[in-house]
Amino acid sequence: CVHTENCFVPTSEIIAVEETELNKKQRNIGKWQKMGKPHAFTVYYVKKARNHRWRCSDVTFWCVDEYLCNQWIQALKELLEMQKCRPKQLLVYINPYGGKRQGKRIYEQKVAPLFSLASISTDVVITEHANHAKENLFEVNINKYDGVVCVGGDGMFSEVMHGLIGRMQKDSGIDQNNPKAPLVQCNIRIGIIPAGSTDCICYSTVGVSDPVTSALHIIVGDCQPLDVSSVHHNNTFLKYCVSLLGYGFYGDILKDSEKKRWMGPMRYDYSGFKTFLSHHYYEGTISFQPAKRTLGSPRDKDSCRTG
């Protein structure tokens, strides 16, 4: 741990360590004027704020001994190198049309500087049409990346998820149309930078829809396993889903709202009210297979750690 004025910071929450030039950090420098030329280094770390929000904070350490200062910098950087769960190379997909069309700006102004600070290399792809990210994931050399980051909403996450899972099955010769085929687990993590109309997946995994918080979780290598369900019809693969599967009323809302993306998030309220007034009714049959062995309960305190 590194001791600051107010708290202890675990090395797992340190973002970066950098040598500090005196003209960049002038705070409290007056007390060093009677000494020789001071040297300093700055530790950037995660500061946890209210409502699950994370922020990047920093503390600067001053030292008159240049050799001692360099020793500290080297020792802390070695500790960071030992954090094997942290990504070094990321593939980033940005949806410039999602939400309020702020995805590119959010990434460049709030996320990219943090990735650069943490020495994370990125290859950025700005999507040009629907399923661009999904199609691209079938072509790139996926093995060179530690993870894939999507900047957008739930639709962007769905594209990346379908692309990654589909790529894994294709490379392994698995037929996705066979509902009984055991799927190959995808061991490449997906990071979500919220910038869409709805950020349900991001909110449910991180606890808040905030680009900086999500970026910091990605940097320190946090991971939250998710259950993925596949949907088939007559031995034909349709979709994967992780949050909900809509049929009938909800499906009609989504279908109608897609035609009104220019309205932004308000399109869901408009389409919902319009669909409600249509008084449609829907028939269907649901069948399910109960688990043979119950190993846990949704109400217990055991976290899912599969994979």
Domain locations along the chain:
11-21+37-82, 89-241, 249-278
Active site residues: 154
Which residue has better confidence, 155 or 217? 217
User: Residue 165, Cβ neighbours under 10 Å: how many?
Assistant: 21
Mean pLDDT taken over the chain: 87
Q: Return d(Cα 198, Cα 127) in angstroms, integer.
A: 18
Q: For 162-171, 203-212, 242-251, which range has the lowest pLDDT when averaged over its residues?
A: 242-251
Q: Specify the CATH number for 89-241; select among 3.40.640.10, 3.40.630.10, 2.40.50.100, 3.40.50.10330.
A: 3.40.50.10330
Over the stretch 124-148, which tens digit does the pLDDT of each residue have?
Answer: 999 999 899 999 999 999 999 999 9
For tokens 């290859």, what's the residue?
123
Tens digit of pLDDT for each residue in 53-94? 999 999 998 888 889 999 999 999 999 999 999 999 999 999
Among all chains, which residue has been given the structure tokens 């702020």?
102
Q: Write the CA distances from 144 to 88, 110, 244, 282, integer angstroms.
A: 10, 25, 32, 47
110 vs 61 pLDDT, higher one = 110
Non-local (6+) Cβ contacts of 152 within 8 A are 93, 94, 95, 98, 99, 103, 193, 195, 196
Q: pTM of the prediction? A: 0.82
Report the alpha-carbon distance of residue 275 to residue 90 in Å, rounded. Answer: 41
> Three-class SS of residue 202?
helix
Question: What value does the mean pLDDT take over residues 288-301?
Answer: 74
Residue 32 confidence (pLDDT): 46
